[in-house]
Chain A
Amino acid sequence: MSAIAVSPEAAPDVTADYVTRVQIDRSCRQTVLGYYASAVAWLLIGSLAALITSVKMHHPEFLGNYEWITFGRIRPVHLNTVVYGWSSMVGIGTTLWLEARLCKVRLPHRALLPATVIIWNAGVVWGVYEVLAGHSTGVEWLEFPPQVLGIFGFVLLVLFWVSLKMFNQRHVHHTYVSQWYLFGSVVWFPILYSAAILLPTTGMVGGAAWATTNWWYAHNVLGLYVTPMGLATIYYLIPKVTGKPIYSYHLSLLGFWANALFYSWIGTHHLVGGPLPAWIITLGIVGSIMMFVPVTTVAINHHMTMIGKFHMLKTSPTLRFVVFGAVSYTAVSYQGSLEALRSVSHVAHFTHYTIAHAHLGMYSFYTMTMFGAMYYIVPRLTRNEWSSVPLIKIHFWTTSLGVLAYFCALSWAGWYEGEMMNNPLIPFIKIVDYTKPYLVARSLSGSFMTIGHIAFAILVFRILRSSDVSMIGPTLFTSKRGMMRWRRKEA
């Protein structure tokens, strides 16, 4: 697609940085495409695992004879493939490309970096095998064997080194906001990941303190690893596609540092009512509420940048996915802040409501943003165009409507489930019966999203495989492939 193209308001920058950009994109090509292709493969595997899990929620006998895909194994496989397979790999690929672009340097270590794709994949494959074989650690978000730390940790250190190197050699004076977020995630995640594995395995924390460490990790993965990568992408692509500068440097600063300051507190809001000293949970709640600061700031910044450019959502797939992600970021963050309150957590926690919230964050915000990023970046790396407008349309509408239906069904079911579970006079089986139709709705909306993923995988497969020189110009929503309506309109 390449969203951008020429809009009536702005002319493309065809001379100044063109050569630099071509060189940078060429240096990124192998590594980033490797990460992207693997990510899409893990997305398909993760979707399959998700569907099996989801069907088992309302038809427990489904595939019940296969020990390897019993609920307790296939559910962590879904979580870990989408987190460490899809989200991490698409995020790392985007991070490397964005950093190279923002520093205006070519990607260093071009022999080592493609190897990290294989190494990271090997880590995920090994972890998935162990979980399927029944050797899960049973610790949420860290079901893979602790030894995987050696594999992921190595790649993360390489990433840190490469990011540092590019930043030191940068050919720009001004450090753009995306760069801060990317650097944040590259620094924070290795610390989080190694601490969450090393503290319990060395016996430094146990019992309730282990649970605290684990939720500290599991929530910081979202806020200090996934969110920075997603926001960096949004901060880069909205101005890049619309041609407008980001609204306010001051708001960017405030949003970044407030996120850095408050996010690492908030994991303990998952332990409301748990056996922890009251102040730990109270600080978790306060941190969650204070997240209104960065979220509101980022929301204003993105919205004010988009103002006057909303018509481009009709044409640009990148922009449409990315803005969908940006709006979801605001929604999921406000919802998350409120969910942390003791009174809300009392009802909503340990129900499907939390699951809906998690998917609003990981899917509606992060995954949709990354789809947008891939729509923008892959044509630059392959120097091909996306082959089919209808497939992009199918991808957008199935995933966006799918995740909205998913969110609405599970939020509704989850809230009433929580209210009923707080009433001891309602037998548990009645609550299960009540949620069943909504669980079926989840399977249906999940199937919808999976159809979108398959359409996307076909698009990615084609653009990687073939080089159709007859395709000239970007693939936009409004144009049939090969017919550039937006240009005729201009003429």
Chain B
Amino acid sequence: MSDRIIGPGDSPPQKYRVEAEPDPAALVAPTMREMSEPTDGIAPTPVWLLLFFFVLAGWSGYYIARNAGGFRADIYNEHYIAGAAPSLEKPAPADPLVLGRQTFNVCMQCHQDTGKGIPGTYPPLEGSPVVLGDPATPVRILLHGLQGDITIEGATYNGQMPSWDRFSDEQIAAVLTYVRQAWTNSAHPVDPALVAAIRKQTGERAQPWTWPELVIASKTPPPSATEPAEPKPAKP
């Protein structure tokens, strides 16, 4: 290829194989010892390369046709097919155990991955009568938090439980379902409708619960969780 050179207007085509011995003076100054400015060869574009580009362009057309959502500003799902009615069906409900495990990542920082808590500070979740008993109590704790001492099976814990009311009903139900069935625990799943009902009932509350208050609250009749707007399957 090296003998095919475009001759730019200002420098005539030249051969690059020069027999002459270089001038020693050329070695002195960096500017002096360099080659002339670069030029272009005229090798043609390989045919296989052009074919490759046509294949890519074809794929691109196919990909746009399949994934562009009809170029509509209101279509966010690339699988939308033009002409089909926009999908109104709700996404399938998340498996509460998977969602719960995911949500448990925040609980784990205090109650530990093992669910055994930290002695004196964070009570255990494994085997705890509060967790395994009436689900209304842990739901109340999650919604508003808990402060002050709590005694579980003879041991006292004084950590501060924050409120998690920013979690959705489904998420709170899922994480409690997970905790009630993780490790050696085995209790019924928690219904998101129960969380919604308690959230409504205690919505006015601004302070975290204390354990004595929770004991009183647990004696009041549980909120009417029997009439959920739409029953959510919360089976494990």
Interface residue ranges, A against B (CB under 8 Å): 2, 4-6, 9-14, 16-18, 21-22, 25, 101-102, 104, 171-174, 176-178, 235-236, 239-241, 243-252, 254, 275-279, 281-283, 285-286, 289-290, 292-293, 296-297, 300, 304-305, 308, 342, 379-380, 383, 385, 424-425, 427-429, 472-474, 484, 487
Asked if B151 lies at the interface with its beta carbon under 8 angstroms from chain A, I say: no
Q: Contact: B80 with A6, CB < 8 Å?
A: no
Q: Which of A5, A104, A251, A282 has the most CB of B within 10 A?
A: A282
**Besides A172-B9, A278-B78, A279-B70, 18 other CB < 8 A contacts?**
A12-B23, A16-B36, A18-B31, A102-B37, A104-B10, A235-B38, A241-B35, A244-B16, A245-B38, A246-B38, A246-B41, A277-B69, A279-B72, A282-B64, A285-B63, A292-B53, A427-B104, A428-B105
Q: Contact: B40 with A278, CB < 8 Å?
A: no
Q: Which residue of A240, A276, A472 contacts B27 across the interface (Cβ within 8 Å)?
A: A472
Question: What is the minimal beta-carbon distance from A275 to any residue of chain B, in angstroms?
Answer: 7
Q: What residues of A have a CB within 8 angstroms of the CB of B45 in the complex?
A: 248, 250-251, 254, 297
Q: Which residue of B32, B56, B72 contacts A12 across the interface (Cβ within 8 Å)?
A: B32
A424 to B97, CA, bound (A): 10
Question: What is the minimal beta-carbon distance from B4 to any residue of chain A, in angstroms?
Answer: 8
Q: What residues of A have a CB within 8 angstroms of the CB of B184 in the complex?
A: none
A12 to B23, CA, bound (A): 9
Q: Contact: B43 with A248, CB < 8 Å?
A: yes
Question: Chain B interface residue count: which class?
Answer: 35 or more
- Hey, what's the 0/1 contact readout for B117-131 against A, CB within 8 Å counting as 1? 000000000000000
Asked if B39 lies at the interface with its beta carbon under 8 angstroms from chain A, I say: yes
Q: Which of B11, B37, B45, B101 has the most CB of A within 10 A?
A: B37
Which residue on chain A has the smallest CB distance to residue B94? A424
Q: What residues of B have a CB within 8 angstroms of the CB of A245 in the complex?
A: 2, 5-6, 16, 38-41
Which residue on chain B has the smallest CB distance to residue A272? B78
A484 to B27, CA, bound (A): 10
Q: Contact: B8 with A173, CB < 8 Å?
A: yes
Q: Contact: A9 with B30, CB < 8 Å?
A: no
Q: Which residue of B6, B18, B71 contacts A174 across the interface (Cβ within 8 Å)?
A: B6
Q: Contact: B31 with A427, CB < 8 Å?
A: no
Q: Contact: B56 with A247, CB < 8 Å?
A: no
Q: Contact: A4 with B105, CB < 8 Å?
A: no
Which residue on chain B has the smallest CB distance to residue A296? B49
Q: Contact: B40 with A177, CB < 8 Å?
A: yes
Asked if B84 lies at the interface with its beta carbon under 8 angstroms from chain A, I say: no
Interface residue ranges, B against A (CB under 8 Å): 1-2, 5-6, 8-11, 16-18, 20, 22-23, 25-46, 49, 52-53, 56-57, 59-60, 63-64, 67-78, 80, 98-99, 101-102, 104-105, 108, 113
Q: What residues of A have a CB within 8 angstroms of the CB of B39 in the complex?
A: 174, 176, 239, 245-246
Q: Which residue of B42, B68, B105 contacts A283 across the interface (Cβ within 8 Å)?
A: B68
Pairs of residues from A and B, 8 with the lowest C-beta to C-beta distance, nearest first: A173-B9, A174-B8, A239-B38, A278-B69, A249-B40, A248-B43, A11-B18, A424-B102
Q: Contact: A243 with B16, CB < 8 Å?
A: yes
Q: What residues of B have a CB within 8 angstroms of the CB of A279 in the complex?
A: 64, 67-72, 75
A–B complex contacts, Cβ < 8 Å, 17 sampled: A10-B16, A22-B31, A104-B37, A236-B38, A240-B35, A245-B2, A246-B41, A249-B6, A278-B67, A279-B64, A279-B69, A279-B71, A279-B75, A282-B63, A285-B63, A289-B60, A290-B60
Question: What is the minimal beta-carbon distance from B28 to any residue of chain A, in angstroms?
Answer: 6
A349 to B68, CA, bound (A): 21
A296 to B41, CA, bound (A): 18
Contacts A240-B37, A277-B76, A278-B77 given; does A6 touch B10 at CB 8 Å: no
A25 to B31, CA, bound (A): 8
Which residue on chain A has the smallest CB distance to residue B77? A278
Question: What is the minimal beta-carbon distance from A146 to any residue of chain B, in angstroms?
Answer: 28
Contacts A235-B38, A243-B16, A297-B49 given; does A383 touch B71 at CB 8 Å: no
Contacts A9-B17, A172-B9, A427-B105 given; does A243 touch B35 at CB 8 Å: yes
Question: What is the minimal beta-carbon distance from B205 to any residue of chain A, in angstroms?
Answer: 31
Q: Contact: B53 with A176, CB < 8 Å?
A: no
Question: What is the minimal beta-carbon distance from B213 to any residue of chain A, in angstroms?
Answer: 32
Q: Contact: B34 with A248, CB < 8 Å?
A: no
A249 to B42, CA, bound (A): 5
Q: What residues of A have a CB within 8 angstroms of the CB of B74 in the complex?
A: 277
Which residue on chain A has the smallest CB distance to residue B100? A424
Q: What residues of B have a CB within 8 angstroms of the CB of A285 in the complex?
A: 63, 67
Which residue on chain B has the smallest CB distance to residue A14? B26
Q: Contact: A16 with B11, CB < 8 Å?
A: yes
A281 to B68, CA, bound (A): 8
Q: Contact: B26 with A12, CB < 8 Å?
A: yes
Question: What is the minimal beta-carbon distance from B54 to any residue of chain A, in angstroms?
Answer: 10
Q: What residues of B have a CB within 8 angstroms of the CB of A292 in the complex?
A: 52-53, 56
Q: Contact: B73 with A101, CB < 8 Å?
A: no
Q: What residues of A have a CB within 8 angstroms of the CB of B52 in the complex?
A: 292, 296
Question: What is the minimal beta-carbon distance from A1 to any residue of chain B, in angstroms?
Answer: 9
Q: What residues of A have a CB within 8 angstroms of the CB of B43 in the complex?
A: 247-248, 250-251, 304
Q: What residues of B have a CB within 8 angstroms of the CB of A282 in the complex?
A: 63-64, 67-69, 78
A443 to B70, CA, bound (A): 47
A22 to B95, CA, bound (A): 75
A290 to B101, CA, bound (A): 41
A286 to B71, CA, bound (A): 14
A427 to B30, CA, bound (A): 60
Which residue on chain A has the smallest CB distance to residue B23? A14
Q: Which residue of B49, B56, B73 contacts A277 across the interface (Cβ within 8 Å)?
A: B73
Question: What is the minimal beta-carbon distance from B134 to any residue of chain A, in angstroms?
Answer: 28
Question: What is the minimal beta-carbon distance from B156 to any residue of chain A, in angstroms?
Answer: 28
Q: Contact: B64 with A286, CB < 8 Å?
A: yes
Q: Contact: A275 with B76, CB < 8 Å?
A: yes
Q: Contact: B33 with A4, CB < 8 Å?
A: yes
Question: What is the minimal beta-carbon distance from A447 to any residue of chain B, in angstroms?
Answer: 32
Which residue on chain B has the smallest CB distance to residue A428? B105
Question: What is the minimal beta-carbon distance from B171 to any residue of chain A, in angstroms?
Answer: 12
Q: Contact: B108 with A249, CB < 8 Å?
A: no
Q: Which of A101, A173, A279, A472 has the most CB of B within 10 A?
A: A279
Q: Which of A5, A177, A277 has the most CB of B within 10 A?
A: A277
